[in-house]
Amino acid sequence: MVKKMKSAATSTPEAAKHNQLAGAVKDSAQQIWLAGMGAFSKAQEEGTKVFEALVKEGMNLQKKTQGLAEDKINEVTGKMSAMADTVTSKAGQNWDKLETIFEARTAKALNKLGVPTAKDVDALVKRVDALAAAVAKLSKTGAPKATAKPAAAVKGARAAKAVKPVAAPAPAKRARKTAAKTAAKTAAF
């Protein structure tokens, strides 16, 4: 009975249309399948080429971005170095100002205590050198011995001690010490 139905179904014009439509669909499906298989094969062949092209393009892009990043890093580094130099110079100026203020205040405090300054010491050294030269000159010329003045001659001061003549010129360092002592005693009167 199944065979009879199949033969009856194929014999009608509607069945023929139906079979023809089914065959066309089957042929189209097979063509689509074959086209997909061809596309897949083509994609495999060209896929590696496309993949390699994409990798190349990615490498170029990476190089460009690294170059730009390095440029920006160098620019920022330069700016930071300049800023650090500015801060360092300002800090140095502030330290110099602080040092100057400290020195001025220290000098003022030492002056109030009566401690001589470097200028005062230099002036005394020059004066001692001049006195030492004068003493040496007097000792060479054979100047007469100095005698002490009586205490009454010095008004309101202590009696002056007699100055002993120097027999031979002393070395420069010793002469300075001696002259400094003499100058100090002289300044006290």
Rg (CA), the chain: 58
pLDDT tens track, the chain, 189 positions: 445 555 555 567 787 777 888 888 888 888 888 888 888 888 777 777 877 888 888 889 888 888 888 888 999 898 898 888 888 888 888 888 889 999 899 988 888 888 888 888 999 999 999 999 999 999 988 655 555 454 444 444 443 343 444 444 445 555 556 656 665 555 544
User: How are the residues of the chain apportioned to helix, strand and coil, as percentages rounded to the nearest 5?
Assistant: 80, 0, 20
Alpha carbon distance 81, 58 (integer Å): 34
C-beta atoms surrounding 132 within 10 Å: 23
**Chain Cα centroid distance, residue 127:** 49
Alpha carbon distance 134, 151 (integer Å): 26
Contacts of range 24-33, beta carbons closer than 8 Å, 24 or more positions apart: none
pTM of the complete model beyond 0.75: no
Going from N- to C-terminal start, the domains of the chain cover 2-91, 116-188
Listed in sequence order, the residues at least 6 apart from 131 whose beta carbon sits closer than 8 Å to its beta carbon are 179, 182, 183
